[in-house]
Amino acid sequence: MGQYMNFWCGRTAVAVAVIIAATCCSAQAVEPTAKAVPEKELQPKIAYCKTCHGQSGQGYRGATPIPRLAGQQVEYFENQTKAFVERRRENKFMYNVAHVLSPAMLTALAKHFSTLNPKPLGGASRDHISEGKTIYDEGLPKSDVPACAACHGADAKGNGLFPRLAGQLNEYIVKNLTNWDKERGQDRKNPDNSAIMQPIAHNLTPAQIAAVAAYLNYLE
């Protein structure tokens, strides 16, 4: 356990500061007196999201992997949707979808998908699941990779700004970790807590990424 504490206290001190700043910004953005979104306005938006992310928010394997939204943390959902709008995160489809959402609608969508809990789609190779579990639970100290569970939870269901990974499409996780620098943290003057993942993604080999992704693919 000490080796992980040393890791966090040393290499990622700046990243911890980023988390605090991002959390504060998120808190300031919340509108505690915002009115609830009328159901007649919410349902069409939910239906639109489901055309790509699946009828139960379980994700979809198309020309590109479309992520699972079911069970996702509300704060993470809101933060990353805003990241598309602010160009902190690149995705040619999601900017067009996200920039028209009001803060109240965004929160309503986030809360809706957080309540869904379909079975994972699965489909990943099971050959290296045990290796993936070890990396997730224990990390790779020699490669400066902390345990994934330290932020995402022992059950991989996330916590606040840290996303749920359980049941996520393995292809989506592989794509994101492999292309982290090209898709995340695009506005270096306005980072969020996803900055923590940059060195971690960089220090994982393709085989290790595939193993972790396969393990997470089957978690409920």
Phi, psi of 190 (to 5 degrees): -135, 65
What confidence score (pLDDT) does residue 181 get?
86
Position 34 scores a pLDDT of 53
Torsions phi, psi for 61 (to 5 deg): -100, 100
The model's pTM is 0.82
Instruction: Please give the distance of CA 37 from its chain centroid, rounded to a whole number.
Output: 25
The reported pLDDT for the residue numbered 194 is 82
What's the pLDDT score for residue 9? 39
Residues of the chain above pLDDT 70, percent? 85
Q: For 41-78, how does the pLDDT look when each residue is reduced to its tens digit (9 = 90+)? A: 999 999 999 999 999 999 999 899 999 999 999 999 99
Residue 191: pLDDT over 80: no
Q: Which residues fall within 8 angstroms of residue 113, CB to CB, at 6 or more apart?
A: 49, 57, 69, 70, 71, 72, 77
Domain ranges of the chain: 2-217
Reported as a single tens digit per residue, the pLDDT across 82-130 is 999 999 998 889 999 999 999 999 999 999 999 999 999 999 999 999 9
Helix ranges, the chain (H): 2-10, 13-29, 39-53, 74-85, 94-98, 103-114, 129-138, 149-152, 170-178, 180-183, 197-203, 206-217
- Report pLDDT for 18: 41
Per cent of the chain over pLDDT 90 is: 73
Say how far apart CA 130 and CA 73 lie, in whole Å: 26
| Reported confidence tier of residue 189, pLDDT bands at 50, 70, 90 | confident
Q: What is the mean pLDDT of residues 7-16?
A: 41
7-16, 158-167, 183-192: lowest mean pLDDT where?
A: 7-16
Domain made up of 2-217: CATH architecture: Orthogonal Bundle (1.10)
| Average pLDDT value over all residues in the chain | 86
Q: How confident is the model at residue 190 (pLDDT cuts 50, 70, 90)?
A: confident
**pLDDT given for residue 92 in this prediction:** 84
Q: How far apart are CA 203 and CA 61, in angstroms?
A: 27
d(CA 77, CA 208): 26
For 57-66, how does the pLDDT look when each residue is reduced to its tens digit (9 = 90+)? 999 998 999 9
pLDDT of residue 17: 41
